[in-house]
Amino acid sequence: MSVTSSSIQSHADTGSPIGVPGLTALVVLVAGTLGLGSAYGPAHGALFLIGGALGISLYHAAFGFTSAWRVFIAEGRGRGLRVQMILLALTVVLFFPFLASGTLFGNEVRGLVSPAGTGVLVGAFMFGIGMQLGGGCASGTLFTAGGGNARMLVTLFFFIVGSVLATIHFDWWASLPSLPPATLVSLGPVAGIAVSLAIFAVIAALTVAVEKKRHGTLEQPPASPRHGIARYLRGPWPLVAGAVALALLNFATLSLAGRPWGITSAFALWGAKGAQLIGIDPTAWAYWQTPANAKALGESVFADVTSVMDFGIVAGAMLAAALAGKFAPSLDIPLRSILAAVVGGLLLGYGARIAYGCNIGAYFSGISSGSLHGYLWAVAAFAGNILGVRLRPWFFMERSAVRRIDG
């Protein structure tokens, strides 16, 4: 994304290196942290700020789950996947001892562990297709939208629509055959970590073998135009630095929220509240009759931890884009690309809900919790990505789109 004359002018008008968008994002982050902390408690405000830090980290590291999987599928380059294994390894080492004990810094904590069954298989496969058509995953949709990608707003809207549609049928999907919730943490923290690290090592070794067979050598990280403090303030970050930041911030989320980072349950909540505004009553659906979901639906979205963190991600990515000098939204979007965003968004939203999570809640945080459903999600979503990559040329009228930076 290039910097337009209007974005350059906005920087000049304010006399600020980050311009109006950056100043706005900074004010939102500061005011939001203080306001939410005052209204709902210090931990709530801190989680909004952690969301902002996640948005900055995702944007500056261009940490793309979608693009990493696409590059491996289409080109056989596995650097992005190997960094994902580093991300999972770091988080497992941080999480398992505390999940096994059930407490962290004196607070009760639990992992994101769900049943592994039909809904996960079908939903993750749908989500995988949606990743490639929508141009991002759950985290990718938020941080690229916050960074000024107007097309991702279309994906996000239909992501929300798909999420609330899935809540209509959620009880049916949940009734289908599945295994009970299971986690590697039950093996004990040491054994669970050892098994997890072995799985990640095998996957990383597989990507190395595929890449060397196809290209002869491993891809090296691109040179950065910035160095030192400037690189970490304005980007781009090394991919590994992004992984370390995401692991530490997820650990901070666990300590403050009592459970790991998630994203898409908030989308279903926003969609249900939107349905109420147009006269549809979602309380008739079983999903919204559980105590936790009924409580969330009856309260402000600002009382919902996941929503607050999602808002923080958008604000943080907006600040990061301004710092990088890349906040320059454009509405010049080809019709087929919009169609892909619509279809992809619906698949992302519906798939995430019936699969008990997305690339964050099921893949990243699920596997970091040792959940069997997280591993099943990863396999099914990767299969969906393979189909999604094959469908992309029709929507985007391009022979290869693997180098595009997105979620």
Question: Average of pLDDT values for 325-334?
Answer: 85
Question: Average of pLDDT values for 388-395?
Answer: 91
* Residue 397: band (very low, low, confident or very high) from pLDDT cuts 50, 70, 90: low
Amino acid at residue number 245: A
Contact between residue 135 and residue 155 where contact means Cβ atoms under 8 Å apart: yes
Contact partners, residue 120, CB within 8 Å, separation at least 6: 114, 178, 354, 355, 356, 362, 373, 376, 377, 380
φ, ψ for residue 94, nearest 5 deg: -75, -40
* Residue 398: band (very low, low, confident or very high) from pLDDT cuts 50, 70, 90: low
Integer Cα distance of 233 and 334 in angstroms: 33
**pLDDT for residue 234:** 87
Mean pLDDT, all residues of the chain: 92
pLDDT tens digits for 99-145?
999 999 989 999 999 999 999 999 999 999 999 999 988 898 999 99
pLDDT at 231 over 90: no
pLDDT at 330 over 90: no
Contact between residue 291 and residue 32 where contact means Cβ atoms under 8 Å apart: no
Integer Cα distance of 125 and 90 in angstroms: 26
**pLDDT for residue 14:** 40
Amino acid at residue number 289: Q
φ, ψ for residue 34, nearest 5 deg: -70, -45
On the CB side of 388, CA atoms within 13 Å amount to: 35
pLDDT tens digits for 356-375?
999 999 999 999 999 999 99
- Specify the long-range contacts of residues 252-257, CB closer than 8 Å, at least 24 apart: 252/50, 253/47, 253/50, 253/309, 254/95, 254/98, 254/104, 254/109, 255/104, 255/105, 255/107, 255/109, 256/43, 256/46, 256/47, 256/50, 257/43, 257/47, 257/305
Contact partners, residue 314, CB within 8 Å, separation at least 6: 55, 142, 143, 145, 146
What number of other Cβ atoms are within 10 A of residue 290's Cβ?
A: 12
Integer Cα distance of 159 and 345 in angstroms: 4
Q: Where are the alpha helices (DSSP H) in 278-304?
A: 291-298
pLDDT at 13 over 80: no
pLDDT tens digits for 246-280?
999 999 999 999 999 999 999 999 999 999 999 99
**pLDDT for residue 222:** 87
Contact between residue 269 and residue 364 where contact means Cβ atoms under 8 Å apart: no
Chain centroid to Cα 87, Å, comes to: 13
Q: 107 - beta bridge partners? A: 104
**pLDDT for residue 405:** 36
Amino acid at residue number 243: A
Indicate the pTM of the whole model.
0.91
**pLDDT for residue 5:** 37
**Positive or negative CA dihedral for 139, 84, 353, 405?**
positive
b/e burial code for range 4-14 (CB count within 10 A of at least 16 → b): eeebeebbeee
Integer Cα distance of 363 and 375 in angstroms: 7
**pLDDT for residue 208:** 98
Integer Cα distance of 325 and 18 in angstroms: 7
End-to-end CA distance of the chain: 14
* Residue 16: band (very low, low, confident or very high) from pLDDT cuts 50, 70, 90: low
Q: Do strands 103-104 and 116-117 pair parallel, antiparallel, or not at all (unpaired)?
A: unpaired
Closest to 50 measured CA to CA, from 261, 258, 236: 261
On the CB side of 400, CA atoms within 13 Å amount to: 7
Contact between residue 313 and residue 55 where contact means Cβ atoms under 8 Å apart: yes
pLDDT tens digits for 166-223?
999 999 999 999 999 999 999 999 999 999 999 999 999 999 999 999 999 999 988 8
pLDDT tens digits for 19-78?
888 999 999 999 999 999 999 999 999 999 999 999 999 999 988 899 999 999 999 999
